[in-house]
Structure 1
Amino acid sequence: MPSRRHFLQQATAGLASLALMNQAAARAAARTYTNPVYAGQFPDPFVLRHQGRYYAFGTTGTGRTPDGRIFTLLTSTNLVDWKTAGGALTPPAGAEGADFWAPEVIFHNGTFYMYYSMGGGAIGATVGHRLHVATSKTPQGPYTQVALLDVPDSKFTIDAHPFQDTDGKWYLFYARDFIDSDNGYRPGTGLVVDRLLDMTRLAGESRTVMRARHDWTVFEKNRTMPLYGGKTFPEWHTLEGPFMRKRNGKYYCFYSGANFLTSRYGVDYCVADSIMGPYSDAGAEKGARVLHAVEGHVRGPGHHSHVLSPDGKTEYLVYHAWDKGMKERQLCIDKLSWTHQGPRCQGPTYTPQPLPR
């Protein structure tokens, strides 16, 4: 008959086994993440990787961060655990009440350059949005506005994306309005590229990258536009948030299309053999191919940036998506794969995923 000592040994062994199982479960949980990786409001996320740390910048619109600055700033070492770090941009003089959208930051020759759009407020609602540049000596700022990147023939220019080609030359991709319907294109916001003479001056030689041609990119029907004398457009389309990737000698311009409030909103791309085009979006006729909504789980994923994992080997899309109540656009990440059909995101995910390595 088993002794009391035997039962105690069995119980102790069972508790030890349970503890080991709990530890294993904890380790497994620690190796996963679940979107969103930051639950607060964080639209139009851009992530800069610099000296082993990630810096995420998000749109604040007309709002200000608690320290009175513009653009929410987060920091992380692993793309998953984010800490708030105040605001990034010192409010420019004369811009009270203005909207500030879609910051992107690059590091060049010892200076951090922030590109963004500003419009409305005290600068005048009829001016629309204009692209601006601010600089800082540190990635977290504060940044100070130093230049206007004017596009005289457009009243609405947003979503600036700087890109350095392999030959060292710099370019700026951005979104702007087109109100014509020439050559079968749809009126709305489209994508262009221009050379940068230096980090704060455009060459003024812009080329169209992509304009709307497909039904799924409609933003709003029968849209009245005060910027254009109150004209009503039967359909107004939107392509926005350009992001350039060069791979195997080809230029892939990723972008978000459609109305960000709808289930049609998502990320697609066009491709060219030359950075100035012409670009083709063949295959994009029916909807966003790279990243799109998941019925009942994820709505409005888009306006993304690309960044490498901590080991520098895996490419991730960083994007926003709505919370279930559609009150906030939250920060999400998922892997990007380069397939035979073209780039595809392994998401949007809403269940536990392996932690970026």
Structure 2
Amino acid sequence: MPAWSTPLADPAVLRTADGWIAYGTGPVQDGRAVPAAFSPDLVAWQGIGNVLVALPDAAGDSYWAPEVCERDGAWWMYYSVGHGDRGHLIRVARADDPRGPFLGQDVVLTPDELFAIDASPCRLEDGSWWLFFARDVLEHERPGTHLAAAPLLTPSSMGETLSILAPYDDWQLFARGRVNYEQVYDWHTLEGPHVVVRDGTLLMTWSGGSWQGPGYRTAWAWATAPEGPWTVPDDGADVLLRSDEEFIGPGHNSVTVGPAGQDVIAFHAWDEARTGRYMHLRELVIDADAPSMRVGEPLSGSG
């Protein structure tokens, strides 16, 4: 069973002073985007409505994969917006409260990219901030959507963007013969990066393949600095979640801290009828020394 009975794709779960807020991808309603829900315990969830004030129509009509962090006395939401599945670029919005409303800052963080999505902010142990995201790369043996990172110099400005991980396996194929940018590609996809830091080690979870079907998977890699090199475990140990008797297309996750101080992974998966993507919560077992990661049991009381 999912953690919440309402669909919530791309769940980004944030711990706050009085509980947890899950933000996700959903339709614009009454001039607002980004559906959200609150839980006092990661078990019972209640919707709090859409929390991002939508931009003018020229920016786009599709708002994807928000993540929120607290910095400099405010709450900052990073997300992409585009027209349908085209032209997405990453933007930032600010709020005085994690429940919103979040207001756009009139800045595009990735103006030079063809397509950029799935922005995830991360504060390193030295106090610096980085933004991890996915972007389209055409000149590569596996063209498609790759992972990148850039320093967040301020909450609304970035430094130089670095390529950090490219598709490396056939399971990351999104579609063969996909028409994009007026050319035909065997398109590969890595997306949804999310980084946690443990004792100087950066552990990144991410998803690959096509989000539309059962081939979608969640995997991980590790590094000692954002710029890498990023190491991918061998022999299939890179995959954390894949379709099985319980999940269809599990992916696009975030990591939060649970009530007992444990690491918790939040991700979406399709319902059996493929009508929506629902949030699931599981314990995440991290060993920064090995390093290793694996998905554990459901939280007590959750699906």
Task: Report the residue type matching 2:89 in the other structure.
Answer: R
Cα distance per residue 1:10-57 (max 9 Å; x no partner): xxxxxxxxxxxxxxxxxxxxxxxxx30112221000111110311111
Partner of residue 80, structure 1 = 43
Q: 1:99-114 maps to which residues of 2 (within 5 A)?
A: 99-114=62-77
SS in 1 for 2:10: coil
- The structure 2 residue matched to 1:315, chosen from 263, 272, 288, is 263
**Structure 1 unaligned regions, length at least 5:** 1-34
User: Are the aligned partners of 1:220 and 1:236 in contact in 2 as well (CA < 8 Å)?
Assistant: yes
- Matched position secondary structure for 1:216: helix
How far apart, CA to CA, are the structure 1 residues paired with 2:47 and 2:41?
14
Match of 1:50 in 2: 16
Q: Which amino acid in structure 2 is aligned with residue 106 of structure 1?
A: C
What is the aligned counterpart of 1:297 among 231, 243, 246? Answer: 246
| 8 Å CA contact 1:256, 1:266 repeated in 2 | yes
CA contact (8 A) 1:265 1:288 kept: no
Matched, 1:262 2:217: no
The offset of 1:354, in angstroms, is 2.5
Instruction: Provide the rounded CA distance (Å) in 1 between the counterparts of 2:280 and 2:202.
Output: 25
Aligned to 1:241: 192
Give the aligned residue type for 2:273: G
> Is 1:223 aligned to residue 159 of structure 2?
no
Residues 1:354 and 2:287 aligned together? no
Following the alignment from structure 1 to structure 2, what is the Cα–Cα distance between the partners of residues 105 and 85?
15
Question: What is the total number of aligned residue pairs between the two structures?
Answer: 300
In structure 2, what is the equivalent of residue 12 of structure 1?
none
Instruction: Summarize the alignment of residues 57-136 of structure 1 with structure 2, pairs less than 5 Å apart.
Output: 57-60=23-26, 63-65=27-29, 67-95=30-58, 98-120=61-83, 128-136=87-95
Please, which of 114, 121, 139 is the counterpart of residue 155 of structure 1?
114
Q: Tell me if structure 1 keeps the 8 A contact 2:60–2:82.
A: no
Deviation at 1:180, TM superposition (A): 1.3
- Between stretches 87-96 and 106-115, larger displacement belongs to 87-96
Question: Please, which runs of 5 or more residues in structure 2 have no aligned partner?
Answer: none
Between Structure 1 and Structure 2, which shows a larger proportion of strand residues?
Answer: 2
Note the alpha carbon deviations across 1:318-340, whole angstroms, 9 max, x for none: 11110010111001100101255
Alignment partners' CA distance in 2, 1:151 and 1:97? 15
* Contact in 1 for aligned 2:221/2:238 (Cα 8 Å): no
RMSD of aligned residue pairs (Cα, Å): 2.0
Q: 1:286: how far off? A: 4.3
Q: Distance in 1 between matches of 2:39 and 2:58?
A: 31
Larger radius of gyration: 1
Greater helix proportion? 1
Q: Percent identity?
A: 32
The one-letter code matched in structure 2 to 1:238 is: T
Question: Displacement, 1:292?
Answer: 1.7
In 1, the alpha carbon distance for the partners of 2:10 and 2:74 equals 23
Amino acid at match of 1:82: W
Partner of 1:7: none
106 and 150 in structure 1: CA distance in 2 versus 1, 3 angstrom threshold: closer
Q: Of 86, 102, 109, which residue of structure 2 is paired with 1:143?
A: 102
- How far 1:220 sits from its partner (Å)? 0.4
Which residue does the alignment assign to 2:144?
A: 188
Q: Which residue of 2 aligns with 1:3?
A: none
Structure 2 letter corresponding to 1:293: S
